């Protein structure tokens, strides 16, 4: 009689340490790339099966995902808690809107806004990069509030009315696949960066032990600025995209939702891994859309979930799932 026993699927795959793999069969290859493929597949199929209204919701979810990835990257891999999501969206959105209103076509204004906006945001945050976690969080949180109040108080950029009549991205299929494409590129680029690139290791070093990095003759402010630039680039692109989704730019681009939701998504999704914020956003944004009828009660609901996760389930959903995934067992002959 043949004897069988259970063995973890990843046992043969992981050799020596986390970053070196040895795969010997198609099954093991699938085990490694499966989750990534599943993600691509879901993102490809999802827009096909939902109504136009939900397609719009998914597009906006995409923007939040970009912000969440940026937040998760800065918080978990660089050690900067940046609550400036609204700043990124606002700066990117306004830049693109202003350029478009003076005649620059969308195809130019969006990428320029993403890049120039990221530069502006990085420069704004540059002086406070040496600050410790909480204080950096406060400053980055206050910037968008300040920007919104200043626009209201001085009436620049259309004041409280904003700038209307901008070009609109009309093709809904193009819209949704554009943001999903950017999102996928962003997430694969980022996970490559933090897991396999030497630069990613420097970022993690900045988070874990700043002094050792300084003692290695590395200017940490410069690397923090690079990291902020990456996150800001994603956020500013999201803002520019949002502007042309509505054809309008206004103070609501600086709304604190853009700062808060990435935090919530990262907390709920799980902070140890880049895909956590992604999952968190895809859970939270549609959920809040479904609860639209309940008014502000949904924010209460949110807040309660947030507190629950941060206090009682710090691991987050994604980390939990990953653990379970890595514990998959299969039967092997003894």
Binding region for other proteins (CB under 8 A): 16-20, 75, 81, 127-128, 130-135, 137-139, 142-143, 145-146, 149-150, 152-153, 198-199, 201-202, 204-205, 208-209, 211-220, 263, 267, 294-297, 299-300, 302-304, 306-307, 310-312, 314
Nearer to other proteins, 66 or 151 (CB): 151
Nearer to other proteins, 166 or 194 (CB): 194
CB of 143 to other proteins, least distance (A): 7
Nearest to 18 by CA among 204, 216, 189, 187: 204
CB of 234 to other proteins, least distance (A): 21
Nearer to other proteins, 143 or 275 (CB): 143
d(CA 11, CA 99): 54
CB of 205 to other proteins, least distance (A): 4
d(CA 186, CA 260): 21
Nearer to other proteins, 177 or 229 (CB): 229
Nearer to other proteins, 179 or 267 (CB): 267
CB of 235 to other proteins, least distance (A): 19
CB of 32 to other proteins, least distance (A): 19
Distances (CA, A) of 179 to 64, 174, 234, 239, 258: 11, 9, 11, 12, 17
Nearer to other proteins, 46 or 214 (CB): 214
CB of 120 to other proteins, least distance (A): 15
């Amino acid at each position: 009689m043949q004897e069988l026993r259970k063995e973890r699927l990843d046992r043969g795959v992981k050799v020596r340490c986390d970053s070196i793999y040895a795969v010997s069969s198609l099954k093991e290859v699938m085990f490694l790339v499966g989750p990534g493929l599943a993600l691509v597949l879901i993102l490809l199929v999802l827009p096909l099966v939902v109504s136009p209204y939900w397609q719009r919701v998914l597009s906006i979810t995409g923007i939040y995902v970009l912000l969440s990835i940026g937040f998760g990257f800065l918080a978990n891999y660089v050690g900067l808690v940046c609550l400036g999501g609204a700043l990124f969206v606002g700066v990117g959105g306004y830049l693109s809107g202003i350029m478009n209103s003076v005649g620059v076509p969308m195809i130019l204004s969006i990428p320029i806004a993403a890049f120039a906006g990221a530069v502006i945001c990085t420069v704004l945050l540059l002086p406070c990069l040496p600050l410790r976690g909480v204080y950096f969080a406060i400053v980055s949180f206050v910037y968008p509030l300040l920007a919104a109040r200043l626009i209201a108080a001085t009436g620049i950029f259309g004041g409280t009315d904003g700038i209307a009549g901008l070009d609109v991205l009309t093709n809904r299929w193009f819209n949704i696949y554009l943001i999903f494409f950017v999102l996928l590129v962003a997430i694969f680029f980022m996970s490559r960066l933090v897991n396999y690139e030497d630069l990613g290791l420097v970022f993690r070093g900045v988070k874990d032990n700043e002094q050792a990095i300084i003692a290695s003759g590395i200017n940490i402010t410069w690397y923090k600025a690079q990291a902020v630039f990456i996150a800001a680039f994603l956020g500013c692109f999201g803002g520019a995209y949002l502007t042309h989704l509505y054809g309008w730019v206004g103070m609501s681009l600086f709304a604190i939702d853009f700062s808060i939701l990435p935090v919530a998504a990262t907390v709920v999704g799980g902070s140890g891994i880049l895909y956590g914020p992604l999952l968190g956003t895809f859970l939270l944004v549609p959920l809040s859309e479904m609860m639209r009828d309940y008014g502000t009660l949904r924010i209460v609901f949110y807040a309660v979930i947030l507190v629950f996760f941060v206090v009682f389930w710090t691991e987050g959903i994604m980390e939990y799932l990953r653990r379970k995934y890595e514990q998959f067992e299969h039967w092997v002959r003894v």
